[in-house]
Each structure stands twice: as C-alpha cells, then as structure tokens.
Amino acid sequence: MTKRSETFLSLVHSDPANPLFRFSLGQCLLQEGKAQDALIHLEKAAAAKADWMMPKILLGKCYLALGQKEPAKVVLQEALQCAVSQGHEDPEAELRVLLSQL
C-alpha cells in the first residue's frame, strides 16, 4: 500500500460505515492496481447512495479489471443512468464507450 491508501485505510478503520472513506480507499487501491482489494470498498460506497455516480463508475472498472463483465455491465449501466439524469456529459460519454466494449 502507498502512503495515500494507508491513510484511507486508517480512516475506514476509524469509521467503517463512512461511504466517502470507503470510496476514497477503493479509488486509491484501484489506482494502485489492487482491484481485488478495492472491490469491497467500492461495493459498499456504491450501495450507500443510489444516485452517487462515481463509486458506480469505479466499481464497474474494478469488475472489468477482475474480468467480471456481467457485474461490470450492470453497474456501468446504473452509472450511465446517473450520468444522464444528472447531466454529466463527460462521464456519460466515457460510460457509453465502456459499455459498447462489453
């Protein structure tokens, strides 16, 4: 783990129910190439709030990194719905590309 992911791991340990800490740790771990470790944190963050787009995007990318195309497709479609309804054009375009490749 890098210093950054260790910091967020410490925060998760201090407040395991905090979805922002889970999201941040999952994001760091995914960036470090540790998709398996990131998975549980991104799943919890994505489940915390139905309209929170970013954890869904990262969870989808995490599933893709793990070769799990079906769960990736489901969560990326949910993220796309969030992007469209919230008017996030760049994430919408990225999600459409990712989904077209599945």
Q: So where are the chain's domains?
A: 3-100
Q: What is 3-100's CATH number?
A: 1.25.40.10
- DSSP codes of every residue in 88-102: -HHHHHHHHHHHHT-
Q: What is the pLDDT of residues 25-78, one digit of tens each?
A: 999 999 999 999 999 999 999 999 999 999 999 999 999 999 999 999 999 999
User: How long, in residues, is the chain?
Assistant: 102
Q: Which two structure tokens, joined as six digits, stand for 53?
A: 């787009």
Position 2 scores a pLDDT of 72
Position 72 scores a pLDDT of 98
